[in-house]
Structure 1
Amino acid sequence: MAYCIQADLASQISDADLLLLADDDGDNAVDAAVLVKVFADVADKIDGYLAGRYSLPLNPVPEVLRPLAVDMAVCQLYARRPNGVPPHRQAQYDAAIRYLEKVAEGRITLGPDDPAGNPPAQNQLELDPDNPPRIFDRAKLKGF
């Protein structure tokens, strides 16, 4: 399942840059096969991080994954070219991977539409009103 589509790339790169990055046959048109492969690779990477925590495929897809997928796809498109990945694109990719690692560890969620729901905070204190009275209350310990 693709987490982004070609139209989503417009938020990160211009049409001219997309053409330079995804026109392998030189016909002056973006090769759909290139984008399909890049989107599939990105989806596989994202699924790899989410698989241990979520039942895949995600339905609906949490919106927070779309910009991560776009950043990863743009970086992968640049990586296909001899000039390599610009540093700011690599930084965006690295940030997306760090986010996915935190999701996989359970340190953060996928936002309000997280399919796993919002688990209770760890170390949460639970009070039981049916507990017996204290053996050593404040009055008995007075003077110690």
Structure 2
Amino acid sequence: MDIQVKTFDQLTKVEMYDMLALRSEVFVVEQHCAYQDIDFKDQKALHLLGKKDGRLVAYTRVFNANDYFDKASIGRVLVRDLYREHGYGHKILKASIEAIYSYFKEQPIILSAQQHLEKFYNLHGFIAIGQGYLEDGIPHIKMIKDRS
């Protein structure tokens, strides 16, 4: 899988369409969660596009401190269903962490993780903080990673 990092303005129309379609496929259809995905935050984000043979198969968006949260953050982490057994989730998350350090020089990094993925994020140095909560009807936990 090849990963590209792009600003909102660098995304082509096709990439934007593919990105929004994949986010809807995973978060709305697959997870049965009706929520407002188009939140007007994409314009401030860096978008990481993971492509395999030209097809978008993994995605995240990352933010500098104070563009979403008070710390740098990662969100919309996903891998297309048929590609989840290839370790692409680990690869796109690692690239997201590296992008934050490279573009923003920020530490620590926070994210709002679906609770069933807490161990996945633990493998990348994220630690749960606070109590779990419901976000769009799905159990989540806030997690933080210090640069080390």
Normalized against structure 2, the TM-score is what?
0.28
Higher strand share: 2
Higher helix share: 1
Which structure ranks higher in relative contact order (CA pairs < 8 Å, sequence separation ≥ 6)? 1
User: Which has more radius of gyration?
Assistant: 1
Normalized against structure 1, the TM-score is what?
0.29
